[in-house]
């Protein structure tokens, strides 16, 4: 049943270009290169440059074509563009209706304008990648690309920014939720979940895919959300809610006239994205730790030099009245704890010997002054010692007939 639901969801979520816009060919030296399907020419940038298999073209950029195996048995294609001046690497997960052949020009522009290394990949069933597109396959795809970045290019998660566009936000948040030291995340026209794109629901369904609304709460790094306010495919409300649920939200970019597929054409897009990349570059480890402490609201270290470790004073607050004075922990040990001073609330004894801190309000010793003297409004207190021997309970004879009779015979009235 799960496979049927997964296949049905995939038909509504993925629209790979058919036929693919590019093909992979092996050169005589064994290196791989990508060529356009329509013209059989090597993939080129907008300014006429191109490259493949680690070689640079006339445009002055390097494009590595890779074929990576995944844990689900598929082989996916990835493009790696290197910028010699870059400090960070961008891992780009594209939307559901494009492949690498359509995105290579955008990759070149982002690499140059943002001064980053960039890795883009095709999901299983897209472009020259094998297999069929599905939610689980995309998770395996991005994990394979991340492993390649680690092993082949030496990219650590501290120097990595994940970028997810539309459906690509699913695998992006899947990986981001597993990397606690990730540098940053960019969500471009992202979705709350697959089902929420079709209909506005707040319930959780087992057959829903890409539950980003839950996963974003596990992402610990800075998260930039970019969304068009005129998006008629994925409503702006998706991006707004993701931004509000992020643990470390960066200043979002809402493009008023932007729709689902044209945000890259607005100057604010590249300007705001560059600002985010720059802030991530200049963020030091000390700054990141400070931000984490502020979010966790960790208590500051005391300057008194007195340790409160092992002091259980005043830590039990259940049942304590509001009028009870608080015991300052730095002034503990227990012998110095202030004694309760509200007899009405605590029925505390007046004798200092009967009140011992065990700590503060617990373990009082019951002795001479614990039971207060009771007075009967209608009968005077007895003065005869013999009358006090009865078991009337109060000692005044007001409730015991035997005691009352004895009191009538004695002269203690």
CA dihedral 309, 310, 315, 316 (to 10 degrees): 170
Which residues have CB under 8 Å from 374's CB, separation 6+? 394, 395, 396
CA separation for the pair 90, 82 (Å, rounded): 10
231 is catalytic: yes
Residues making up the chain, counted from first to last: 413
Q: Which two tokens stand for residue 216?
A: 């974003």
CA separation for the pair 20, 249 (Å, rounded): 36
Residues 62, 93, 166, 193: which is the catalytic one? 166
- Residue from 74, 87, 206 nearest 133 by CA: 74
- Residue from 151, 96, 148 nearest 119 by CA: 148
CA distances (Å), 118 to each of 81, 219, 319, in order?
5, 21, 61
Please answer whether residues 49 and 39 qualify as being in contact, where contact means their C-beta atoms are separated by less than 8 angstroms: no
260 is catalytic: yes
- Residue from 185, 172, 20 nearest 104 by CA: 20
Instruction: Report which DSSP code applies to 331.
Output: G
Residues 129, 159, 231, 272: which is the catalytic one? 231
Q: Which two tokens stand for residue 391?
A: 């078991």
Q: What is the spatial order of strands in the sheet that 117-121 belongs to?
A: 62-69, 75-82, 117-121, 89-93, 160-165, 184-188, 222-228, 253-255
Instruction: Please tell me whether residue 292 adopts helix, strand or coil conformation.
Output: helix
272 is catalytic: no
Positive or negative, the Cα torsion across 321, 326, 332, 336? Answer: negative
CA separation for the pair 351, 1 (Å, rounded): 76
Sort residue 301 into left (φ over 0), alpha (ψ -120 to 50) or beta. beta
Active site residues: 166, 231, 260
């Amino acid at each position: 049943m799960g496979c049927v639901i997964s296949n049905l969801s995939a038909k509504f979520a993925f629209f790979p270009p058919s036929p693919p816009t590019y093909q992979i060919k092996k050169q005589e030296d064994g290196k791989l290169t990508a060529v356009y399907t329509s013209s059989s020419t090597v993939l080129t940038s907008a300014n006429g440059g191109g490259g493949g298999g680690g070689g640079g073209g006339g445009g002055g950029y390097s494009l590595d074509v890779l074929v990576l195996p995944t844990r689900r048995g598929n082989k996916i294609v990835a493009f790696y563009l290197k910028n010699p001046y870059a400090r960070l690497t961008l891992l780009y997960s594209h939307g559901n209706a494009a492949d690498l052949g359509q995105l290579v020009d955008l990759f070149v522009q982002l690499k140059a304008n943002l001064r980053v290394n960039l890795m883009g990949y095709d999901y299983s069933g897209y472009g020259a990648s094998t297999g069929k597109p599905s939610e689980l396959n995309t998770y395996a795809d991005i994990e394979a690309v991340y492993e390649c970045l680690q092993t082949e290019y030496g990219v650590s998660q501290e120097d990595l920014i994940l970028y997810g566009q539309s459906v690509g936000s699913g695998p992006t948040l899947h990986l981001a939720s597993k990397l606690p030291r990730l540098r940053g995340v960019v969500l471009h026209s992202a979705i709350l979940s697959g089902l929420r794109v079709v209909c506005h629901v707040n319930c959780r369904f087992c057959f829903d895919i890409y539950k980003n609304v839950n996963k974003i709460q596990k992402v610990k790094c800075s998260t930039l959300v970019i969304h068009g306010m005129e998006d008629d495919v994925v409503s702006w409300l998706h991006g707004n809610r993701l931004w509000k649920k992020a643990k470390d939200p960066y200043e979002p970019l809402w493009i008023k006239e932007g729709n689902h597929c044209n945000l890259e054409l607005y100057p604010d897009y590249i300007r705001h994205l560059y600002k985010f990349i720059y802030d991530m570059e200049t963020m030091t480890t000390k700054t990141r730790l400070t931000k984490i402490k502020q979010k966790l609201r960790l208590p500051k270290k005391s300057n008194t030099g007195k340790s409160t470790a092992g002091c259980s004073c005043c830590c039990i607050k259940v049942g304590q009245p509001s009028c009870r004075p608080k015991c300052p922990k730095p002034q503990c040990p227990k012998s110095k704890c202030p004694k309760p001073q509200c007899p009405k609330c605590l029925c505390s004894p007046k004798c200092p010997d009967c009140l011992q801190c065990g700590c503060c309000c617990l373990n009082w010793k019951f002795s001479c002054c614990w039971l207060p003297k009771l007075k009967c409004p209608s009968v005077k207190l007895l003065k005869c010692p013999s009358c006090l021997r009865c078991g009337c309970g109060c000692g005044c004879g007001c409730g015991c007939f035997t005691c009352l009779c004895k009191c009538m015979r004695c002269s203690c009235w």
